[in-house]
Amino acid sequence: MTSVAHRRASVLNRSSLSRNSLSARMSMNGMPRGSQNGSGRRSSTIGGRGSRMTDPRPIADRNFMAMSIRHLIEFLTDRHYDHPISHQLLYKPMKKDFVNIMHFLFRELDPNYEVSAKIEEDVANCFRTLKYPFPISKLALSSVGSPHSWPPLLAAISWMIELLSYDAIVQDEALNNPDHNNGHDDDSDMFAYLTVAYKTYLSGSDDEYELMTRRMEESMEQVYQTQQSAMAELQRRIDTQELSSDDLERMTSERGRLQEMLLNVEKRYKHIQASHWQKETEISQFMDRIEDLVNTYMSYCRRLKLDDRKDAHGVEYAIQIDAHSGGAKAAAALMQHLKKTIVPSLQAFRRQRVDRLDRILDKGVEAKVRIGHATSSMNEAVEAARLIDVQERKLDESIRKEQEAMDVALERKSREIEELELELERLQTQDKDDMSGLGRADKLLRDAKAAYADMSNQYKHEIESRLRFIQHAISMCIAFKEHATKTMTDADRYLRSQDTRVSSTSS
């Protein structure tokens, strides 16, 4: 805990994340950035605001994201992160999870960080202050969990935890090197002296240079005295050492054994951790497959109109699954609901649909049989109509021939009557006394007229009788044809409707 507090204090001394301090961060030599010569040129060269560099890392690659998530979880776990964290949660995080992680990282950088409502501005200012070389979009910060926003933000967080990890390493080295921690490292002291001396030389302050030289000599003398005291103390401890060479050898051997045991434990830990991450990845892939299957299932429910409780007869067929929440209790409740409610209901629904389909198929077979009978009847009717048409044509031909014969007979009788009338006129011009010849002629004329009238009446009666027979036969053919056509149309319409119902049920 002491090293963590010291590390946070060190980070705080270098960079404070409050809004008022972001613009006034100090450089390595203790002076504001604005006063360093050439700082504007240097920042623009390494990727300041003016440049729009493209991230060369494969930030959208699933393997890269999985590795970044693993490093982030390791970092948060080592730093005692006080919120739930998992691979599934970081694969598609909610905004509140992102806010909690950023607040934790801000406190790692600055223990005095105060939570603000404008997290987007805080994140953008932080990365800009830390000289993150790639732009952070506020639009991406407003929609953290979306597929196009989360990969660059995850890459930026990975970059930040690398900085914090490097800072931890530097601070640990400083704690393990007390001479360097007390300011007695020769290289660092000489570098600091040369830096200040060069600036003093450029400013022309000779008095300040001499004062600085005297302070440097006094500091070196103090370091020398300290080293002499340390050497004397070490010599005293060596002289009063109670351990023998056997004890030293035994301690060395024990240290080697413990170090070997530590290496084995670390290897075992890394192996377990790698296996854990592999299982986490497999679980994430299985959860993705489950989500795809649930989406497919819900699409089938919508096609069968099972998403509406009214059409589903009160059964709740809808399933909603969230791969990143709920845990084992939610999974157990879902499995219980599937086994006791959805699966039996779907089986009953399937049996009902199969029975309905069987009934429809039976009706379709019956309809096809009826259509076959109707087709046979229609064919017979068509054949009968054809025979009637043939008979009708034969009757028409017979009537035509008889009419022609009657016309010839009537014409012959008409000529005979005309001859008789001429003979009557001739006889009337002859002897008036020859009354017997006139009577015979008159009688012949009356007989001819009567025969002509009878023959005309008989011809008309025959024509009317045959016309009535033909009209009756035609009307019967038309009625039978209309009945057969209507029967065929009804049967075809019924069969089409049954086929449509069977197709919709099968789909």
- Is 488 domain-assigned? yes
CB 42, CB 142: distance < 8 Å? no
User: Which residues are CB-contacts of 455 (< 8 A; sequence separation ≥ 6)?
Assistant: 406, 409, 410, 413
Note whether 376 and 500 are same-domain residues. yes
Note whether 275 and 411 are same-domain residues. no
- Is 370 domain-assigned? yes
pLDDT of residue 331: 72
CB 123, CB 102: distance < 8 Å? yes
Distance CA 277, CA 378 (A): 77
Distance CA 442, CA 436 (A): 10
- Is 295 domain-assigned? yes
Distance CA 416, CA 423 (A): 10
Distance CA 72, CA 155 (A): 10
CB 41, CB 137: distance < 8 Å? no
Domain that holds residue 131: 1-27+45-176
Q: C-alpha angle with apex 325: 320 to 328, nearest 5 degrees?
A: 90
Note whether 445 and 360 are same-domain residues. yes
Note whether 148 and 9 are same-domain residues. yes
- Is 199 domain-assigned? no
- Is 3 domain-assigned? yes
Note whether 162 and 283 are same-domain residues. no
Q: Which residue's structure tokens are 């490292």?
A: 185
| Structural domain ending residue among the three candidates 276, 306, 325 | 325
Distance CA 399, CA 409 (A): 15
| Structural domain ending residue among the three candidates 176, 201, 235 | 176
Note whether 305 and 360 are same-domain residues. no
Profile the chain (507 residues) by mean pLDDT over runs of 10 residues.
Answer: 42 42 35 35 37 79 91 92 87 89 90 82 88 85 84 93 87 65 56 71 72 82 90 83 76 89 90 84 81 84 74 71 62 78 84 86 83 81 80 81 80 80 73 59 75 78 78 77 78 75 62
pLDDT of residue 157: 94
CATH assignment of the domain containing 76: 1.10.418.30
Q: Please tell me the total count of domains within the chain.
A: 3
Give the distance, in angstroms, between the CA of residue 28 and the centroid of all CA atoms in the same chain: 51
Which residue from 221, 113, 109, 226 is spatially nearest to 159, judged by alpha carbons? 109
CB atoms within 10 A of CB 109: 21
Tell me the sheet residues that pair with 32. Answer: 26
- Is 221 domain-assigned? no
- Is 123 domain-assigned? yes
Note whether 10 and 126 are same-domain residues. yes
Distance CA 313, CA 349 (A): 10
Distance CA 29, CA 33 (A): 10
CATH assignment of the domain containing 415: 1.10.287
Query: Which segments of 2-130 are extended strands (E)?
Result: none
| Structural domain ending residue among the three candidates 325, 341, 371 | 325
Residue 201, CB-side half-sphere exposure with 13 Å CA sphere = 7
- DSSP state, 366? H
Note whether 127 and 51 are same-domain residues. yes
CB 75, CB 90: distance < 8 Å? no
Rounded (to 5) percent helix, strand, coil in the chain: 80, 0, 20
State the SS3 of 380-401. Answer: HHHHHHHHHHHHHHHHHHHHHH
H helix intervals, 46-118:
62-78, 87-91, 95-109
CB 14, CB 33: distance < 8 Å? no
Overall residue count recorded for the chain in this entry: 507
Q: Which residue's structure tokens are 């022309």?
A: 204
Distance CA 358, CA 364 (A): 10
- Is 428 domain-assigned? yes
Distance CA 126, CA 18 (A): 9
User: Which residues are CB-contacts of 80 (< 8 A; sequence separation ≥ 6)?
Assistant: none
